[in-house]
Structure 1
């Protein structure tokens, strides 16, 4: 029973964090536009956020090999509290850039943050190889459902309007709620038992026998993330706002159902991986989702675009638990925190470049191009992943 407790606390903490990310990703572009900033500036904020996340994630991976994961998670939760409070009181664009870079705001649909490598390392200790993918599927399911609820909560500022609160005040209140969720997450992390790192030696700092595998995966994941950066949730919301004049409430409703579909794809991914393998599950669900995204970019009407985006949502995240499980399976225990970090960081760095490019395309009225570029690059990534890793099997598939 004691072994299940750390996973339970991590699941609950992730739920709180992803709920906050769910409404911040939608409210952030609305907030910045309301303050008078242009779409290009919104893209630059998203870039700064992802770049800062990348640097903090690599620090977490390096420190995670030598230090107690609980303490590092508590520090990250404290940063989340500070980020929410700062967003609620700052209007200056330069300061907002600093907050985006140094804080924990997440403009993407998935959980890309300093928390991830630490949580992955803790979770992997709790299960056998055979149960690992199912564990990550549940972990992703909890996060996606919470993110969907958060997306629905993004309509709160509009709901507060009849009570006399203007939209800007309502959004600031949601940023304060984000800080409160970080505080609750910290209380949950405090319940995780202290655990000595797998090794106290200097070699635990990073990668040993699995170095080449991790570097190859990191390079491929970077291509995937660079592509995904063109349609992080904040920018997809911006595309819907500007292309179809979607309201904040309508956007929240759409992203709620998008998150629900993503959430229930995770257990399906775990089931599918047992039958066709982790790599095949990653590739053969991802390609159709990219095709749906490209078709959505060309859709002439809002209903058709939304249907195609929902099809994408039902497929595009099935590689999340399988990817996490695969990385943890093909490295040694001592390398897990570093491997999670080194495969997450290049993703964040690569994803950091594309939102600004997408913002520039929006500003130039090439609104469909970010979605088309994303879909094409992701298909290339999937084919390369299949070619490079179809023969490297995790222990449960050998």
Structure 2
């Protein structure tokens, strides 16, 4: 019938079915790699810098205690060196990160590269303990294998500035993972190179160790070059305006609109007299002059959170300092007689496990939440740490070490996301710098204590103390921040 002909039947052949994402694409998105691929070029430069810096740190850490032992320094003196280096780094890092947003993040990173180059040259040429100590404090030498200097705080704050909140966890996870990959490559290459120089070329221990610090300085130069390639997008808008790099018609229009809104109130008159104080989310912004203008003001909520975080971060870092990577290389070398090449392979495995753990942490955080991931990944690591001295079997000790390495840093990316999300954007660099200063300060206490225990043949005590304080940190984080509201942008 004609009526029936007026209703066309759907052509099922022409219907387009949305293609289902491939398993590979889903995996790329799940582990956060998609966010890194689509991130701005500055993000990839910062991640590259992280990789090569950790290569240098991994190499230097593997042979630091062995180098000092070859130079004839005692265990107690080695422990004092580690503590003094980290404590000295506190002052420099605190100053640079406190003023980084005002001085310019790129400038601070470039200055850090110059300091890193200086310290590497001194370590490659001097055997005087006090000169080496000054170079390690003024320059950038990592006695623990962890981050030192201003790099990490400035980079993490910049990453939070460059990427949106929804992909921040992914970027931080890859930032941590790539750092672990760099450290793994550093320890493996260092062990192999030192062993080759000693066995094949007949170099002395001291000479072979010094070659590592020459490479350390070379990496600093590469970092210096790439730091110069960072764009102005890394800087806060307020810094660019002060430098005359961010004055546009759009800015002028916004200022005109603001003036119109204030014109009918007494606030405009106060602003013209430079006496206005505006309250935003509990944070006071005032026209400060001189050096006070460089110091960021924290909101009341941020201050409360930081006052709780500081003692918890202190506990965790103190435990980390008791058994840092330099002392771990000493422990395995002293107890099991492992040589440099084998130590390099062992720590390579540990860093590889940590890299895998970082990927798992990125996926876990999306499902469990940031705080839950921080605790549930870090707590097993803390307990395993105390089990390492309990065995005299090298294989079991290595397995425990690898498992501990794989879980120890799984909380790193979630923790940085947590810290960056509970403070305002203009507070991030200074707050992250403060947290790194606290970590460095508390980490610097442990090595001297471990040095005293090692000198008495009781280094196992350091492992047990470290386990106890790290478990206390985990309990504290869970108790205070389980229901914390994140994302203040």
TM-score bracket, normalised by the shorter chain, equals: over 0.9
Answer yes or no: is 1:193 the counterpart of 2:283.
no
Question: 2:476, 2:237 → 1: CA distance?
Answer: 33
The residue that corresponds to 1:313 in the other structure is: 405
Question: 2:364, 2:297 → 1: CA distance?
Answer: 30
Larger Rg: 2
Answer yes or no: is 1:163 the counterpart of 2:201.
yes
In terms of mean alpha carbon deviation, does 324-333 or 46-55 score higher?
46-55
The CA deviation at 1:171 is 1.0
The residue that corresponds to 1:346 in the other structure is: 438
CA contact (8 A) 1:25 1:107 kept: yes
Question: 1:180, 1:142 → 2: CA distance?
Answer: 20
Question: 2:398, 2:189 → 1: CA distance?
Answer: 19
Matches within 5 A, 1:217-366: 217-366=309-458
Relative contact order, higher structure (CA 8 A, sep 6+): 1
Q: 1:112 to 1:270 in 2, by over 3 A?
A: farther
Q: 1:6 to 1:319 in 2, by over 3 A?
A: same
Answer yes or no: is 1:382 the counterpart of 2:474.
yes
Question: 2:397, 2:414 → 1: CA distance?
Answer: 28
CA contact (8 A) 2:421 2:487 kept: yes
Question: 2:356, 2:162 → 1: CA distance?
Answer: 23
CA contact (8 A) 1:198 1:334 kept: no
The CA deviation at 1:198 is 4.7
Question: 2:354, 2:149 → 1: CA distance?
Answer: 19
Answer yes or no: is 1:128 the counterpart of 2:218.
no
In terms of mean alpha carbon deviation, does 101-110 or 309-318 score higher?
101-110
The residue that corresponds to 2:284 in the other structure is: none
CA contact (8 A) 1:49 1:104 kept: no
CA contact (8 A) 1:60 1:117 kept: no
Deviations, residues 159-205 of structure 1 (Å, cap 9, x unaligned) = 11212322211111110000000100111111001254354665662
Question: 1:71, 1:175 → 2: CA distance?
Answer: 24
Q: 1:147 to 1:368 in 2, by over 3 A?
A: same
The CA deviation at 1:206 is 2.9
The CA deviation at 1:112 is 3.7
Question: 1:121, 1:311 → 2: CA distance?
Answer: 30
Answer yes or no: is 1:150 the counterpart of 2:186.
yes
CA contact (8 A) 1:145 1:263 kept: yes
CA contact (8 A) 1:51 1:349 kept: yes
Question: 2:373, 2:294 → 1: CA distance?
Answer: 31
Question: 1:2, 1:224 → 2: CA distance?
Answer: 34
Q: 1:198 to 1:226 in 2, by over 3 A?
A: farther
Question: 2:343, 2:415 → 1: CA distance?
Answer: 29
Aligned residues: 396
CA contact (8 A) 2:370 2:414 kept: yes
The residue that corresponds to 2:133 in the other structure is: 97
Deviations, residues 108-158 of structure 1 (Å, cap 9, x unaligned) = 243243211110111111111111011000111111101000001221111
Answer yes or no: is 1:206 the counterpart of 2:301.
no
- Show structure 1 runs of 5+ residues with no match: none
Question: 1:2, 1:326 → 2: CA distance?
Answer: 23
Q: TM-score, normalised by structure 2?
A: 0.78
The residue that corresponds to 1:174 in the other structure is: 212
RMSD of aligned residue pairs (Cα, Å) = 1.6
Question: 1:114, 1:233 → 2: CA distance?
Answer: 20
Question: 1:198, 1:24 → 2: CA distance?
Answer: 37
CA contact (8 A) 2:62 2:187 kept: yes
The structure in which a higher percent of residues are helix is 1
Question: 1:83, 1:43 → 2: CA distance?
Answer: 19
Partner SS, residue 341 of structure 2: helix
The CA deviation at 1:214 is 2.0
The residue that corresponds to 2:274 in the other structure is: none
Question: 1:386, 1:182 → 2: CA distance?
Answer: 39
The CA deviation at 1:2 is 10
Question: 1:284, 1:272 → 2: CA distance?
Answer: 10
Q: TM-score, normalised by structure 1?
A: 0.96
